[in-house]
Amino acid sequence: MSSTIKVLLAEDQSMVREALAALLGLEDDIEVVAQVARGDEVLPAAREHDIDVALLDIEMPGATGIEAAAVLHRELPAVKLVVLTTFGRPGYLRSAMEAGADAFLVKDAPAAQLAEAVRKVLAGERVIDPTLAAAALAEGANPLTDREREVLRAAEDGSTNAELAAALHLSQGTVRNYLSTAIQKLAVRNRAEAVRTAREKGWL
């Protein structure tokens, strides 16, 4: 091994981030050279530190790990991307791969897989949970239009049609139409279930 693998770690929960850093620190060939807590701090930190691999949590303020991955892929294509998430949602996997991720790990996988994944992506391999990959393929693509997603996202907190209409500059009837079509596409019975299953599939 010529020199250590330089890793950027992006994860918003300090305790988890520093714990993961400690875990990776146990590996002789890996060095965590930068840590950030927000998605929008990833690119600047990556530029500053000349890293080999970026380890990105999806759920972060500022920008999601997937958005950060897309930016890194465009701006620093040599950097390998490992996306890490609590939720093994097939839609997340799909978006992550589209954003140029080289590996996709869920946090309830064994810890040993983390260092493994870092080494493998650097060797040019891709690391993906086969079960999840199958699920992502089986599920098909996101059937929702942009607007439908927007309305669903806005409806998540329990806003009424009137509030949604005001917030999105739409008529109340249009809001209901979008929700109605979304409900049908998702084969559920009301907006709450629609929001739920769309989230679950990673389609929001």
Partner DNA sequence: CTCGTCGTATGACATCTGTCATCCGGCAGT
Partner DNA sequence: ACTGCCGGATGACAGATGTCATACGACGAG
Chain residues in the site for DNA (CB under 7 A): 145-148, 160-162, 170-174, 176-180, 183-184, 189-192
Per partner kind, with CB cut-offs from 5 to 8 A, the member of its own copies, DNA, none near residue 162 is DNA
Per partner kind, with CB cut-offs from 5 to 8 A, the member of DNA, its own copies, none near residue 195 is its own copies
Per partner kind, with CB cut-offs from 5 to 8 A, the member of its own copies, DNA, none near residue 178 is DNA
d(CA 196, CA 112): 32
Query: Helix 65-75 to helix 90-98 angle, to the nearest 10 degrees?
Result: 20
- Classified as helix, coil or strand, 79 is coil
141 or 187: whose CB is closer to its own copies? 187
- Classified as helix, coil or strand, 118 is helix
Per partner kind, with CB cut-offs from 5 to 8 A, the member of its own copies, DNA, none near residue 40 is none
139 or 163: whose CB is closer to DNA? 163
Cβ neighbours of residue 117 closer than 8 Å, sequence gap 6 or more:
82, 103, 105, 127
Contact 47, 76 (CB under 8 A): yes
Per partner kind, with CB cut-offs from 5 to 8 A, the member of DNA, its own copies, none near residue 124 is none
Q: Using CB under 8 A, list all residues that contact its own copies.
A: 12-20, 22-23, 25-26, 84, 86, 105-114, 157-160, 188-196
Closest approach, Cβ 126 to DNA, in A, equals 29
Closest approach, Cβ 13 to DNA, in A, equals 33
Cβ neighbours of residue 143 closer than 8 Å, sequence gap 6 or more:
185, 186, 203
Closest approach, Cβ 175 to DNA, in A, equals 8
Closest approach, Cβ 204 to its own copies, in A, equals 15
Closest approach, Cβ 162 to its own copies, in A, equals 10
d(CA 25, CA 93): 27
Cβ neighbours of residue 171 closer than 8 Å, sequence gap 6 or more:
165
